[in-house]
Structure 1
Amino acid sequence: MSDEYAGGGLPDDTAGEAAGMCGNLVEFGFDGSLEGVFGEGADFVLLGEGEQTLLELVKSIRDGAEDFASIRGLGWMKNGMPFRTAARPVMRDLDAMPLPAWDLVDIESYRRVWLEKMGISL
């Protein structure tokens, strides 16, 4: 695992704080219309593989940045208009990513919401 991804690249004491810094995010892999998601309340859209994009976004917000044009794979409202940066290259070395922290996820709640969204009732 690379040092950049270890702990999300943020000190442990700021990781929880960072989770709330970005406002409303649209999930990774989004490739639809930016106008629609911003109309629904999104603040940022992570385009394509968003892991590195999210890390750079959180660090930028934490550091007080107001312009995010250098972050590849990101969409947001800029001067009242939807704006997107260049696509981020596809990650080739998946072993550089940490394993998911499943211990931090309420699996039953996640499962219930997923089943509802998929139209599956038990």
Structure 2
Amino acid sequence: MSKIKKKRIERPTEISELDVKFQKIIQFSGWLFLFTLIGFMGAWIVLDYILALINLELTAMTFTFIIFTGTNSAISFALAAKIKNNKDNKQKFFHDWLLGEFLFSLFAIFAVAAYQW
């Protein structure tokens, strides 16, 4: 048994309406990316493998689309969870998220361009 007591972190109990909307918008963007990924993969499986109507190939563009939507969905959900746990630094988290999305998009574009070159 430890003699040291852990201090509880005091969190503000008031949640503004703007904070709730902000968090829901970020979660909505995560769900939007996730449904886009599920819809694309579902259509691919149904049309290509089950019905054999079309022959889709995994090219650099489709692979990039799959990676981009999946990663952006995960990043959006992570940001929403991070803001929910720490509302004091939400502006810093949001700016870091925007910078991360920008750098990730640039990296994805240049990776596809280098692959196709």
Fold-level similarity (TM above 0.5): no
Q: Which structure dedicates a bigger proportion of its chain to helix? A: 2
Higher relative contact order (CA closer than 8 Å, sequence separation 6+):
2
Q: Which has the larger radius of gyration?
A: 2
Q: How high is the TM-score relative to the length of structure 1?
A: 0.28
Q: Which structure dedicates a bigger proportion of its chain to strand? A: 1
